[in-house]
Amino acid sequence: MTTTSGAETMESGADEPTVAHLEQEGDVAADYIEELLDIADLDGDIELDVRDGRAYVSVEASEEGSGALRVLSDPETVRALQELTRIAVQSKTGRFSRLILDIGGSRDTRQSELEQLVARAIERLGDGAGQASLPAMSSYERKLVHDIVAERGYVSESYGEGADRHTVIRRA
């Protein structure tokens, strides 16, 4: 396991978790994921990182188990495992967790899918649409979309509540 961290506390205020808290979240999450992998008889290398005020837990296939993690790397499966892991961390630490789980490169795959989704939405704007709505997605995915949209010179806003919250893209 590898743990990477920056400063000792987060810059944005007292309500933000410290790097030490985020590292603890990562350790608890890694133990939980390791137990799940053992139960499923899957091999994986777990890496921990702390960035942007979140703990990141990545599971990559070990050399012997290359390809075996594919069963867990489906985006919906990763999302469900992430929620279960967050609950396990919260029950152990007593603090709400916003950790991010990546299994077998699932986050990179989802990033590519979101980039394609934004590209198609921008095409609709180029064809004369006043705005383009994207499907509902998680807050993390919406943040990625906002970043992609801004990089391409457009503006985006999120609308809706809960599971229906989605992003709308417009010209700048």
**DSSP 8-state code for residue 102:** E
Cα–Cα distance between 18 and 55 in angstroms, integer?
A: 11
Single out the residue of 147, 145, 151 nearest to residue 121, CA to CA: 145
Whether the per-residue pLDDT at 3 is higher than 60: the answer is no
pLDDT band at residue 75 using 50, 70 and 90 as cut-offs:
confident
How far is the C-alpha of 32 from the C-alpha of 30, rounded, in Å?
5
Q: What is the mean pLDDT of the chain?
A: 88
| pLDDT (average), residues 53-70 | 80
> Rounded to two decimals, what is the model's pTM?
0.74
Report the C-alpha gap between 109 and 93 in whole angstroms. Answer: 30
Q: Which amino acid is at 109?
A: T
For residue 4, what pLDDT band results from cuts at 50, 70 and 90?
very low
Task: Please tell me whether residue 45 adopts helix, strand or coil conformation.
Answer: strand
The closest alpha carbon to 172, from 131, 116, 128, belongs to 131
pLDDT for residue 1: 43
What is the secondary structure of 93-159 as a DSSP string? Answer: HSS----EEEETTHHHHHHHHHHHHHHHHHHHHHTT-S-EEPPP--HHHHHHHHHHHHHTTEEEEEE
pLDDT above 70: residue 98: yes
Express each pLDDT in 22-48 by its tens digit. Answer: 999 999 999 999 999 999 888 889 999
Percent of the chain with pLDDT over 90: 68
Coil vs helix vs strand at 7: coil
Confidence label for 6 from pLDDT (cuts 50, 70 and 90): very low
Looking at per-residue pLDDT, the higher value among 166 and 65 belongs to 166
